[in-house]
Structure 1
Amino acid sequence: MNTTHPDWPSSLSDAELDELDKYLRARANDGDLLLDGVHGMLSALAVGPLQVLPDEWLPEVLHEPFTDEDEGNRVLALLAKLNDSIVAELEVDAYEPILGEIDTETGPMLSAAGWCEGFSRAIDLRAMLWEKRLADDTQLMEMLGPVMALAVDEGILNAETEFEKLTDEEYDECLAQVPAVLATVSNYWHEHPVTEEELKALAEDGGKAPETEAVHPPRFRSGHWLH
């Protein structure tokens, strides 16, 4: 599992990453995001077209109310810190995705499946904006090429045409390009911001994903969780 740079105050330590990982694993059902998935989701949100507040993305992570207030505050603080660390890494070109591990005949191997799943769910939160731009601008599609190749290879996305599995070398090469992809996509949205027409269409579409009744999280403002 990759970790963030220890010199940044907002970065999670190895112990904190393990703590959050254990919390998520202990409560995960089939299809729920684990730490790698949460990292992928927050990474996509950090470079996306519009801000997505925690009351939209937390239901993708937390699926039941906290039974212990102290534990709940601790988990929310760790998630906020993880989100901050992603932004910090992207700003100094030191981003690395947190990846999961799978067991193979030759031993454990890193897998981008969970990270890609989280990335995909983040795009779904602003699906209308992403889908329209991807359809209208082949440049954005090309930028996302390595991430999309990983997602198709892992079965997260369905390819419209027959897709040959990546070789180990190709897989590693796509993984190595992920930080550059995020930086490029972030620059793209800064240089080609959402238009008034797109905002109007988004508002007509409801503005965000359907709300869930499973959790009612606090909002996040400037590094702090507010109730």
Structure 2
Amino acid sequence: MNVPKSEWPSSLDDKELEELDTYLRRHGGDGDLMLDGVHGLLSAVAVGPLEVKPEEWLHEVLHDAFDDEDEGNRVLALLAKLNDSITAELDVDAYEPILGEVDTDEGPMLSAAGWCEGFSRGIDMRAALWESRLAEDPELMQMLGPVMALAVDEGVLQADAEFEKLSDEEYDECLGQLPEVLVGVGQYWQDRPPTEAEITAMAKPREGEEHPPRQRAGHWVH
């Protein structure tokens, strides 16, 4: 779908992204999601099998009490706008992942590590549904291939077998496929929604719910 930019959905502008990024960095600790991670989490929620309400995913994003009511209202408004923009951007082929930037010997480079970490945590919010379907339907696993490749390459996920690092070209190719992947996964769950048996199984407690802290560096790049 080719939609004129004038008709694209309202997304956070650079100033708003900087404001939200600054807040998350000021209040985040080891293992907490930064802006790229929050975008990954909300992206997984947007295309997932069942609705995840804000009161659920906000626990993954906010960890400190607000300094005052105005600050709280502002941060919540920015997060709501970020959340709403994802589905709207996917609908008009305007989605771009928010990525981190890391320093290397060759200079700053984009990194999908934070986005992938957030996406993984978004899946974890409906883990039983994702796991049962991934185990039964290789099509969904194949569809998520570019995300999995990036996540393994960045150490967010552990591969069952020895995994060769992606080349720069392969890495960029996987990044470029993310919008298509998200659209496809969202359509998959619309066409094949969770069964009653899967939803019932979701209520059972799972082992190992906690996420180990991970060191992260870099800043947001849109």
Matched, 1:203 2:186: no
**Percent sequence identity over matched residues?**
71
1:50-129 alignment runs, 5 A limit: 50-129=50-129
Indicate the residue corresponding to 2:216 in structure 1: none
Q: Distance in 2 between matches of 1:60 and 1:70?
A: 21
Q: Please give the secondary structure, in 1, of the residue aligned with 2:10.
A: coil
State TM-score, norm by structure 1: 0.86
Q: Given that residues 8 and 92 in structure 2 are in contact (C-alpha distance below 8 angstroms), is that contact kept between their aligned partners in structure 1?
A: no
Q: Give CA-to-partner distance per residue, 1:157-183, whole Å, 9 cap, x none.
A: 000000010011110010010000001
Q: Distance in 2 between matches of 1:15 and 1:7?
A: 21
Q: Please give the secondary structure, in 2, of the residue aligned with 1:101.
A: strand
Provide runs of 4+ in structure 1 moved above 4 Å: 5-9
State TM-score, norm by structure 2: 0.88
| CA apart distance, 1:65 | 1.7
Indicate the residue corresponding to 2:172 in structure 1: 172
Q: Distance in 2 between matches of 1:120 and 1:161?
A: 19
- Structure 1 residue runs of 5 or longer lacking an equivalent are 211-227
Indicate the residue corresponding to 1:33 in structure 2: 33
Q: Give CA-to-partner distance per residue, 1:5-57, whole Å, 9 cap, x none.
A: 67546311110011000110111111110000000000010000000011111
Q: Please give the secondary structure, in 2, of the residue aligned with 1:187.
A: helix
Q: Distance in 2 between matches of 1:151 and 1:128?
A: 20
- Structure 2 residue runs of 5 or longer lacking an equivalent are 211-222
Q: Given that residues 6 and 13 in structure 1 are in contact (C-alpha distance below 8 angstroms), is that contact kept between their aligned partners in structure 2?
A: no
The one-letter code sitting in structure 1 at the alignment partner of 2:78 is: L
Q: Please give the secondary structure, in 2, of the residue aligned with 1:115.
A: helix
Q: Distance in 1 between matches of 2:28 and 2:141?
A: 32
Q: Given that residues 41 and 119 in structure 1 are in contact (C-alpha distance below 8 angstroms), is that contact kept between their aligned partners in structure 2?
A: yes
| CA apart distance, 1:100 | 0.5
